[in-house]
Amino acid sequence: MKLIDSILTQAASIAAVRRDIHAHPELCFKEVRTADVVADKLTEWGIPVHRGLGTTGVVGIVHGRDGGKSGRAIGLRADIDALPMQEHNTFAHASQHAGKMHACGHDGHTAMLLAAAQHFAQHRQFDGTVYLIFQPAEEGGGGAREMIKEGLFKQFPMDVVYGMHNWPGLPVGSFAASAGPVMASSNEFHIVIRGKGAHAAMPHNGIDPVPVACQMVQAFQTIITRNKKPADAGVISVTMIHTGEATNVVPDSCEIQGTVRTFTFEVLDLIEKRMREIAEHTSAAFGATCEFKFNRNYPPTVNHPDETAFVRQVMTDIVGSDQVLDQEPTMGAEDFSFMLQERPGAYVFIANGDGAHRAGYEGGGHDVGPCMLHNPHYDFNDDLIPLGATLWVRLAEQWLGREVAGDVTGEAP
């Protein structure tokens, strides 16, 4: 493993920053303290900072030895927000704010990019510009979309953009990256079935929305098994059904909510169309009516082939080909997808291990071992900071130094 010495030297201090951020989690668009920590560190290292995109976003600007005159630029992105959930860890850097927790490792993503920034400030071994994007509100707020709307790519014109997420379960020291869809679109549906209330002992006097809902939920799964091509991925999950107030009352209405995930817009279009038809026609068949709402939140995260191949080669140079894995696509969603719709790039993964890193400060017990994202016992593995930062540095240096057609000024990596 070829780690950068200067990053290793500063790893402990950056880990302390990571743990400080973990102890003070902030939810989407409210990451004021976190943004202050990031901006203060960048400023301390002599990196110019732009603040306010997406409300609390921070962008650091690092020009290379040519002062950025080459015109080439690469963007490196880390998310900074936490989740609205209660932390169950008891270590010293556990969340100090009830109902808020860094359970997805965004504190670690921030730390890895800060470690790379500290190195860039002292070793500008590239021509062009590196933009350090610290993005708010990934967890449901669409912070990437908001930063783009407010001029991210206009104010900071970059040719490519990369993001990285930790991945529990994979062995520490490995990366994963694949071209094509790696994360799904995220979409929500909200259906209100309106019937007619009645006494439960005399249901013939009303229109019961409950059996309508039961029929509807079952029928939705036929979209997956009978309308969609079997080779195309798609998920419909009904996660909430709310109705009724008393055991002897047929309710007036019933609400159904849930999520839909796909890797393509074609499958998403099909699922939305068929869900609407099933909801409306099933309601009509029982004499009820329905209101159908379908919200498209995040598009699929689709990696560009050339940019993915490039980062895989950089990974190979650092950890060897055996430790560069293919990333199995997941039905989880990620708003970095908005950035990949605007610029070429890739979303890659760094292994977070099996959870054993927590044993040192939890003293063993039930919460040491495999621990997945969005789990109340999750914690980012600080051992990843030098490796992730090394990837960011080598990726930027080699991408900005590559030769391109018609350009004789670039240096081959």
Residue 407 in domain: no
Mean pLDDT to the nearest integer, 290-318:
98
Q: Write the pLDDT tens digit of every residue in 310-348.
A: 999 999 999 999 999 999 999 999 999 999 999 999 999
Q: What letter does residue 333 receive in the DSSP assignment?
A: -
Contact in structure between 128 and 66 (CB atoms under 8 Å) = yes
Whether residue 167 sits in one domain with residue 102: yes
Provide the b/e sequence for 61-71 (b: ≥16 CB within 10 Å). Answer: bbbbebebebe
Whether residue 158 sits in one domain with residue 53: yes
Whether residue 115 sits in one domain with residue 44: yes
Residue 321 in domain: yes
Torsion of CA 22, 24, 28, 29, to 10 degrees: -130
Whether residue 195 sits in one domain with residue 178: no
Q: Write the pLDDT tens digit of every residue in 24-38.
A: 999 999 999 999 999
Mean pLDDT to the nearest integer, 185-200:
98
Read out DSSP for 94-134? Answer: S-SSTT-B--SSHHHHHHHHHHHHHHHHH---SSSEEEEEE
Whether residue 141 sits in one domain with residue 206: no
Instruction: Give 362's pLDDT tier (boundaries 50, 70, 90).
Output: low
Q: At which of 298, 333, 357 does a domain end?
A: 298
Instruction: Give 360's pLDDT tier (boundaries 50, 70, 90).
Output: low
pLDDT for 355 equals 84
The per-residue pLDDT of the chain, averaged, comes to 95
Instruction: Give 408's pLDDT tier (boundaries 50, 70, 90).
Output: very low
Q: For tokens 């500008």, name the residue.
A: 124
Whether residue 55 sits in one domain with residue 130: yes
Whether residue 37 sits in one domain with residue 170: yes
Domain harbouring 283, CATH code = 3.30.70.360
Residue 198 in domain: yes
Q: Quick count: other Cβ atoms within 10 Å of Cβ 124?
A: 17
pLDDT for 358 equals 78
Contact in structure between 232 and 264 (CB atoms under 8 Å) = yes
Q: Quick count: other Cβ atoms within 10 Å of Cβ 42?
A: 23
pLDDT of 405 > 80? The answer is no
- How far is the C-alpha of 410 from the C-alpha of 399, rounded, in Å? 10
Q: At which of 266, 298, 330 does a domain end?
A: 298
Q: Write the pLDDT tens digit of every residue in 216-264.
A: 999 999 999 999 999 999 999 999 999 999 999 999 999 999 999 999 9
Q: Write the pLDDT tens digit of every residue in 364-374.
A: 555 556 678 99
Instruction: Give 410's pLDDT tier (boundaries 50, 70, 90).
Output: very low
pLDDT for 403 equals 73
Whether residue 393 sits in one domain with residue 367: yes
pLDDT for 361 equals 65
Whether residue 47 sits in one domain with residue 174: yes
pLDDT of 399 > 80? The answer is yes
pLDDT of 162 > 90? The answer is yes
Whether residue 177 sits in one domain with residue 107: yes
Residue 408 in domain: no
Mean pLDDT to the nearest integer, 282-290:
98
Q: Alpha carbon of 91 to those of 49, 104, 110: distances in Å?
A: 33, 17, 20
Domain harbouring 120, CATH code = 3.40.630.10
Whether residue 307 sits in one domain with residue 294: no
Mean pLDDT to the nearest integer, 165-191:
97
As a whole-number percent, the residues of the chain with pLDDT over 90 amount to 92
- List phi, psi (to 5°) of 236: -120, 115
Instruction: Give 412's pLDDT tier (boundaries 50, 70, 90).
Output: very low
Mean pLDDT to the nearest integer, 123-146:
97
Give strand pairing partners of 345. Answer: 161
161 closest CA partner among 15, 311, 20, 281: 311
Residue 38 in domain: yes
Domain residues for the domain of 272 are 186-298
Whether residue 196 sits in one domain with residue 326: no
Count of domains for the chain: 2
- How far is the C-alpha of 239 from the C-alpha of 191, rounded, in Å? 12
Q: pTM of the entire structure?
A: 0.94
pLDDT of 3 > 50? The answer is yes
Residue 205 in domain: yes
- How far is the C-alpha of 157 from the C-alpha of 172, rounded, in Å? 34
As a whole-number percent, the residues of the chain with pLDDT over 70 amount to 95
